[in-house]
């Protein structure tokens, strides 16, 4: 095409420019408003932390006093100081770290494999409605099974290593990601789809330029849920039977009635889930668009 016919006349065109100061306030007046906002945010943060710490203190105090006054037998609930000591002691043992490593790696594998399969199926189901309608009854039935209950069977099939744990984790994570991926892709605005067609986008372009980036926040939100569920699946499987892992550690301590160490093992499981969730939330910051959301 020979030159743009909208501008073949050299006369300057006419939209009154919007000054860049529209967004970035540099005046003193604007600075005051920005300052006030930041002050307000800092105050809110202080209050949030204050309330949180108060709750924590009250909880620990109530726990301690319940045992101290004999309201509940210490043999069942231990006390905060002993649990703290138990965590410290556990962390100095090589065995504990092997258990943490076993649980964490299995949870990571479960999350990665489960979400890869889940995202891939979610994309296929969202793009090929007929395939989804055909698969739906099977998905509904499979989803209705309480998946951790697969653990004994998987252990029977795969032995006491990492495989059955990973399989349980996959069976849970998969559905979370299928549903979130589908929801994300389907929520692309009808106008945007229309525009994409009018621009002549191919199916592949529609997927890579529009659908996938649009669905990304929903998919990553699914990954965060998946991270926690993956640890859940792995731990349940370990509790049923495993060579090593935090689930087994817990079972051993409760069998010995070592209540402080049992609580300490629970705390380590939570820590593993938090590590995985934080890793995913870093990813969330990179891949999500839109206004900063809650949580």
Partner 1 sequence: MSTTIAYPPDRCTMRSSTEKAGVDISLKSIRHGFMHGDTVVHPVWDLDLDIPAGQFVCLVGPSGCGKTTLLGMVAGLVAPKQGKVMIEGAQVTKSSSESVAYMLARDALLPWLSAQDNVELGLRVRGVPKAERRKISSEWLARVGLADFKSSSILRLSQGMRQRVAIARTLALEPRCILMDEPFAALDAQTRVLVQQEFLKLWEKSGTTVIFVTHDLSEAILLGDRIILMSSRPGRIVSDIRVNLPRPRNLTAPFKNQGFAQYHEQLADRLRHEVVAANSEA
Give the number of other CB atoms < 10 A from CB of residue 17. Answer: 5
What the block records as the tokens of 51 is 């309330």
Q: Assess 216 for contact with partner 1 (CB under 8 A).
A: yes
Cα 202 off chain centre by: 32
Least CB distance from residue 283 to partner 1, whole Å? 15
Tell me how far apart the alpha carbons of residues 74 and 61 are, in angstroms, rounded to a whole number. Answer: 14
Name the H helices within 145-187: 151-158, 163-186
Find the distance separating the first CA and the last CA of the chain, reported in whole Å. 51
Q: Assess 210 for contact with partner 1 (CB under 8 A).
A: yes
List the one residue from 84, 116, 201, 241 that touches partner 1 (CB under 8 A): 201
List the one residue from 92, 200, 203, 286 that touches partner 1 (CB under 8 A): 200
Stretch that binds partner 1, among 150-158, 204-212, 256-264, 266-274 (CB under 8 A): 204-212
Question: What are the DSSP calls for 3-51, one per residue?
Answer: S-TTSSS-SPP-PPPPPGGGTS--SHHHHHHHHHHHHHHHHHHHHHHHH
Tell me how far apart the alpha carbons of residues 159 and 170 are, in angstroms, rounded to a whole number. Answer: 17
Kindly write out the interface string for residues 180-199 of this chain, putting x where it contacts partner 1 by CB under 8 A and - elsewhere: ---------x-xx-xx-xxx
Nearer to partner 1, 64 or 193 (CB): 193
Kindly write out the interface string for residues 16-45 of this chain, putting x where it contacts partner 1 by CB under 8 A and - elsewhere: xxxxx-xx----------------------
Least CB distance from residue 208 to partner 1, whole Å? 11
Nearer to partner 1, 21 or 256 (CB): 21
Give the number of other CB atoms < 10 A from CB of residue 120. Answer: 13
Contacting residues toward partner 1, per CB under 8 A: 1-2, 4-9, 11, 13-20, 22-23, 189, 191-192, 194-195, 197-201, 205, 209-210, 213-214, 216, 289-291
């Amino acid at each position: 095409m020979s030159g743009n016919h909208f501008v073949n006349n050299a006369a300057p065109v006419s939209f009154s420019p919007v000054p860049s100061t529209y967004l970035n306030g540099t005046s003193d007046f604007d600075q005051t408003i920005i300052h006030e906002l930041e002050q307000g945010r800092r105050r809110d943060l202080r209050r949030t932390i204050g309330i949180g710490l108060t709750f924590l203190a009250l909880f620990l105090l109530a726990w301690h006093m319940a045992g101290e006054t004999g309201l509940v037998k210490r043999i069942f609930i231990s006390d905060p100081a002993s649990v703290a000591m138990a965590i410290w002691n556990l962390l100095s043992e090589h065995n504990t770290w092997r258990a943490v490593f076993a649980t964490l790696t299995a949870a990571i594998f479960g999350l990665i494999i489960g979400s890869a399969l889940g995202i891939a199926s979610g994309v296929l189901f969202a793009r090929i409605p007929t395939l989804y309608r055909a698969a739906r009854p099977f998905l509904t039935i499979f989803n209705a099974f309480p998946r951790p209950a697969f653990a004994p069977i998987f252990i029977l099939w795969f032995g006491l290593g990492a495989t059955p744990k990973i399989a349980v984790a996959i069976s849970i994570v998969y559905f979370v990601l299928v549903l979130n991926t589908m929801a994300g892709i389907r929520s692309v605005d009808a106008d945007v789809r229309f525009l994409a067609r009018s621009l002549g986008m191919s199916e592949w372009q529609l997927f890579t330029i529009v659908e996938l980036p649009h669905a990304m926040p929903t998919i990553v939100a699914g990954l965060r849920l998946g991270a926690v569920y993956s640890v859940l699946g792995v731990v349940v499987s370990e509790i049923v039977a495993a060579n090593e892992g935090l689930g087994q550690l817990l079972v051993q301590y409760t069998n010995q009635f070592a209540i402080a160490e049992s609580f300490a093992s629970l705390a380590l499981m939570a820590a593993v889930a938090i590590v995985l969730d934080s890793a995913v939330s870093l990813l969330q910051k990179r891949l999500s668009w839109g206004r900063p959301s809650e949580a």
